[in-house]
């Protein structure tokens, strides 16, 4: 029974990967559905599910890299701490750069407020023919 479920999951993953590959090639959801023998709505769901999986993987990798970089910053700070306590201005300056980098890495700083003045151009882009939204645009 477990083998059957694993086989079914593998086939579903392969179909999602194929739908995603076709979408990357610029195919419409209707064309993807035709190629895979399903509706354009289901083709859209498969592509979205694959995009979500890629996003989760990317977020996990980014979190791991942030943790690694944070550890490196901790070690760098540790290595200069006695010099900071001794009043070495060069070490204090280095500490401030480490602290700024950590704040950026971890998103600790408040966002910078930007005020735009003047007109804002808006461009409407029409989807390619045959690539209607899967819900029919409603």
Q: Where are the domains of the chain?
A: 2-106
Cβ 32 vs Cβ 40: under 8 Å: yes
pLDDT at 113: 79
pLDDT at 137: 45
What confidence tier does 6 reach under pLDDT thresholds 50, 70, 90? confident
50 contacts: CB under 8 Å, gap ≥ 6: 16, 17, 19, 20
Q: Which of 14, 15, 13 is nearest to 43 (CA)?
A: 15
Q: If you average pLDDT over residues 5-13, what whole number do you get? A: 85
- Tokens for 21? 């590959």
pLDDT digits (tens, 9 = 90+) for 24-70: 999 999 999 999 999 999 999 999 999 999 999 999 999 999 999 99
Cα(15)–Cα(30) distance, integer angstroms: 15
pTM of the predicted model, to two decimals?
Answer: 0.54
């Amino acid at each position: 029974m477990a083998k059957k479920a694993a086989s079914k999951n593998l086939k579903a993953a392969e179909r999602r990967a194929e739908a995603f590959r076709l979408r990357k090639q610029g195919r419409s959801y209707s064309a993807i559905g035709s190629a895979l023998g399903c509706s354009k709505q289901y083709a859209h769901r498969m592509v979205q599910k694959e995009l979500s999986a890629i996003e989760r993987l990317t977020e996990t990798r980014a979190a791991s890299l942030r943790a690694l970089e944070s550890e490196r910053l901790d070690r760098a700070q540790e290595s200069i701490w006695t010099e900071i306590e001794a009043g070495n201005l060069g070490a204090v300056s280095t500490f401030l750069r480490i602290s700024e980098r950590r704040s950026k890495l971890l998103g600790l700083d408040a966002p910078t407020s930007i005020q735009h003045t003047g007109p804002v151009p808006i461009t409407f882009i029409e989807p390619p023919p045959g690539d209607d939204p899967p819900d029919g645009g409603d």
